[in-house]
Amino acid sequence: MKQSQNLTELSNEELQKSFKQARMFLKIFFSIFILLLITCLYITVSKGFGVFTILPLTFIPLVIANIFSYGKIKEEMKNRNLLS
């Protein structure tokens, strides 16, 4: 997700749209990450240590960045009382 503006500068509608996109992206990314992790573990068990063993580790910074981005948007929505 691209944050071209500061979250405080977004209108309520734009912030809600960003929140929905961030939530959807986070769910999809987690699903793909879990699938990658399971696949890499299977390959490691069946064929031994290799490149696929450490592949999930390279995506951990992206997971953390997405969680923090989602958290910032959610916090801004709470500050504006847009979350129920």
Query: Residue 8 in contact with residue 76, Cβ under 8 Å?
Result: yes
* Chain CA centroid to CA 38, Å: 18
**CA separation for the pair 59, 19 (Å, rounded):** 22
Helix (H) or strand (E) segment spanning residue 68: helix 60-79
| 0.85 surpassed by pTM | no
Query: Residue 54 in contact with residue 36, Cβ under 8 Å?
Result: no
The token pair at 59 is: 């995506």
Using one digit for the tens of pLDDT, what is the confidence trace for 7-53? Answer: 888 899 999 999 999 999 999 999 999 999 999 999 999 999 888 88
* Chain CA centroid to CA 23, Å: 8
